[in-house]
Amino acid sequence: MKINLAIWEKLLRVTAWVKRFVTKLRKKTCESGTLSAAEIKEAEEYWVRRVQLENYCSDIQLLKKNKPVPPQSKLYSLVPYVDDRGILSVKGRLEQAELFHNEKHPAILPKSKFTDLIIMSEHVKSFYSGVASTLSRVRNNFWIPRGRQVVKKVISECLSCKKYALKPAKQLTGQLPRDRVVESPPFAVVGIDFMGAITIKAGDQSCKKGYIALFTCAVTRAVHIEVVSDMSVKSFIFALRRFYQEEVAAK
């Protein structure tokens, strides 16, 4: 299943709408309009309880009977308890801290698709941050056993992160032309280009705009430079003639 923020938000909205519909059928409320934040939170808590029951049913039953979880339980070291919402949470040592309830007693989440959706949601909301930052955001509300490994696995499947992490393909270079590799005198094979404009000083000390004609040897990479007054055909022919006068081997 593809994991992204849209699936997570859709899951909560659909669950909230269904719960509102069921409540209306029972004639407990006539609430209408858009979903409230409380309804979205209630939908999230519903799925947390359901996922916990599917994975920690025996531990939850013991805790509801005020019995401790056995030492062989995976949750034993967390000192779990069931809060007034019916959610299995970490007891912890932060009861006196000035923190929100979810931060002092985060809900315990097993490895599941629902947990993956929560992780991906926090990953996207934190602008595709790394493992440490995403895990820190998740732990504001939930405790995932072996959380770092689980978060790392989910982030590794993020399509957006994969796109940015891809290395560009290397272009295979073609064969060099024969003129570049066969031994020949300088300027036997020539390439021509222009550059500029530049400012040149004439004989009367006035400054004018000019250009540079570059004659490059394809084999030795030697360069011959001619200054031209403009980029017209006439100026180019004059520059070419001057070049031929000095480099008689040119083709």
pLDDT single digits (tens) 91-134: 888 888 888 888 899 999 999 999 999 999 999 999 999 999 99
Q: Alpha-carbon distance 93 to 146, whole Å?
A: 20
- Beta-bridge partners for 108: 143
Helix, strand, or coil (residue 107) = strand
* 246 token code pair: 């000095």
What pLDDT was estimated at residue 166?
A: 83
Q: Alpha-carbon distance 187 to 99, whole Å?
A: 79
Going from the C-alpha of 8 to that of each of 5, 47, 211, the distances in angstroms are 5, 11, 63
Higher pLDDT, 251 or 82: 82
Q: Alpha-carbon distance 116 to 190, whole Å?
A: 63
Helix, strand, or coil (residue 193) = strand
pTM of the model: 0.65
CB atoms near residue 105 (< 10 Å): 20
**Mean pLDDT confidence for 195-206:** 78
Q: Alpha-carbon distance 215 to 238, whole Å?
A: 13
